[in-house]
Amino acid sequence: MWLDDRWAPVKAAAVYAHKYKADTQDIMQYFDVNIYRAEPDGTSRDIVESRLVAFDGHVTRELVRVDHLAVRQNRKLMQGFVQKGFISGKFNFAAGDFGPFREVWYMGTKTLAKAFRTGKAPFRLVGPDVREGLHTLIVEGSIPRRDDDPNSKEVRYRFWLCPERGFLPIKRVFTRDGQTWFQQGLHDLQMLPNGAWFPRRISSPADDSEIGKA
């Protein structure tokens, strides 16, 4: 983040909550995000700005508080916005609007279940794999290079699904012409009281050595 005429590392800490009303397309969401200046000693002090955002199923309400004078410029300390529908992609919340839930269970804007069934890339079962003692099934979707477009690239989306952990996608690797451009790993898997599994840590890159350590 550009602060005081220089590029300064920042750290985000957030509270995230969601609640389904009917299904995954009908979701209420809440974000409380604080951006701190990251100090050289590893601590984080001085809130730069904060965003409190809530979508109640109909309206998005956003409260922006900018504490850093240079970032605030001529604006007021606190500004509020009320907007129709869910306002996407403006919350300084790095992984997108569904927070960690989306990180785990989505591919872009689609749920994994939908992406596997109806995405542009047909998915197929590649085979079993064992990762850090966990049995997984590798599924892969691919979009071939187009013969009529010399600039097109072959794209592959590969997921390691873990049946014994609620089919969590404990690793995903996306490649273009064999070059990895995105990867993610789920770690410290925990079974919740409702029987569902969820990671306590989500990392990119995937950091294989930590997968499965509950």
Binding site for another protein (CB under 8 A): 17, 19, 28-30, 52-57, 59, 61, 63, 76, 78-84, 94-95, 100, 103, 190, 192-194, 198-205
Distance in Å, CB of 208 to another protein, minimum: 14
Decide: helix, strand or coil at residue 107.
strand
Distance in Å, CB of 193 to another protein, minimum: 6
Taking the least distance from each CB to another protein, the nearer of 125 and 182 is 182
Contact 174, 168 (CB under 8 A): no
Taking the least distance from each CB to another protein, the nearer of 139 and 211 is 211
Taking the least distance from each CB to another protein, the nearer of 64 and 139 is 64
Distance in Å, CB of 142 to another protein, minimum: 25
Of 176, 134, 127, the residue nearest 156 (C-alpha): 176
Q: What is the CA radius of gyration of the chain?
A: 20
Burial class (CB in 10 A: 0-12, 13-18, 19+), 187: buried
Taking the least distance from each CB to another protein, the nearer of 57 and 128 is 57
The terminus-to-terminus CA distance of the chain in angstroms comes to 34
Strand partners, 127: 138
Distance in Å, CB of 21 to another protein, minimum: 9
